Structure 1
Amino acid sequence: MENIIGQNVTIYFNLHKKLWSVKHKGKVVAHVENVTIQPTKYHVNENARLKVINQKCRSVHAWINGKLIDFEAKEVDGTTVSYNPYKLGQFYDCETFKAFNDLDGKLHFNSTKKAIFYKG
């Protein structure tokens, strides 16, 4: 896994393993509790989200692309970001429930199923 530090990856929550999946060049390369990226794009497949809502079936349809920084566990202060297809069709700030798509910082994903966005 260390050889992909600095590379572009895709991060999403694996519904079966209850871990973060890390995809690199289209292939899942890791399932981890902690990962930090410099985000480049927040993605929600709207058609798949509507299917989840209508059929009440879970599927991976939201992810975040970014440059991989590390796999270290850490305590960071910042904005807690999450995604729930039933609450909002985008990633959102857990405190304000407003859409969140800030790219100017880092996202640390941890075992809470949420990500913390912070500057630094």
Structure 2
Amino acid sequence: MQFGGVVVAHLTTVQLRGVSFKVSESARQRVLAQRQRNVHAYAIGTYTSAAQPTATEPISYNPYQAGHFFRVEDQASIHSAAALVLSQGKAYASAQASLFF
């Protein structure tokens, strides 16, 4: 977890609320051209220490597949979510109150 660009904690599970998913298209294009990974896609939200995770819809991102985050189930793009859980290398968004396009 970062605060002001400084790592302040290492957690096995993180839950965020009010999440926006961002992708830098110019950096994604560099990934496609160079075939070399770089940090260009991320989620922005407010950390929450809710006891029970509220996000259960698996989501993913693959720069070679699309320029946006997407639901694993049907490949529909997702740009924001009410909640996001990151756990054991997987990401889960809340199914309700999300903006799917």
Q: TM-score range by the shorter chain?
A: 0.7 to 0.9
- In 2, Cα distance between equivalents of 1:71 and 1:52: 35
Task: Give the equivalent residue in structure 2 for 1:97.
Answer: 75
| Partner secondary structure for residue 102 of structure 1 | strand
Give the drift of 1:102. Answer: 3.2
Does structure 1 conserve the Cα–Cα contact (< 8 Å) formed by 2:16 and 2:48?
Answer: yes
- How many percent of aligned residue pairs carry the same amino acid? 29
Q: 1:39, 1:64 within 8 Å by CA — same for their partners in 2? A: no
Runs of 4+ in structure 1 deviating by more than 4 angstroms, as ranges, are 74-77
The alignment of Structure 1 onto Structure 2 pairs a total of residues equal to 96
Task: For residue 53 of structure 1, report the CA deviation from its aligned partner.
Answer: 1.1
TM-score between the two structures when normalised by the length of structure 2:
0.80
- In 2, Cα distance between equivalents of 1:39 and 1:115: 15
Partner of residue 108 from structure 1, selected from 85, 89, 95: 85
Q: Which runs of 5+ in 1 are unaligned?
A: 1-21
Alpha carbons 1:53, 1:85 under 8 Å: kept? yes
- Contiguous gaps of at least 5 residues in structure 2: 97-101
Task: Write the distance in 2 (CA, Å) between the matches of 1:80 and 1:52.
Answer: 24
User: Alpha carbon RMSD of aligned pairs, Å?
Assistant: 2.3
TM-score by length of 1: 0.68
Instruction: Report the counterpart of residue 39 of structure 1 in structure 2.
Output: 18
Distance 2:34 2:67 in 1: 16
Aligned equivalents of 2:10, 2:65: Cα separation in 1: 26
Q: 1:71 to 1:32 in 2, by over 3 A?
A: farther
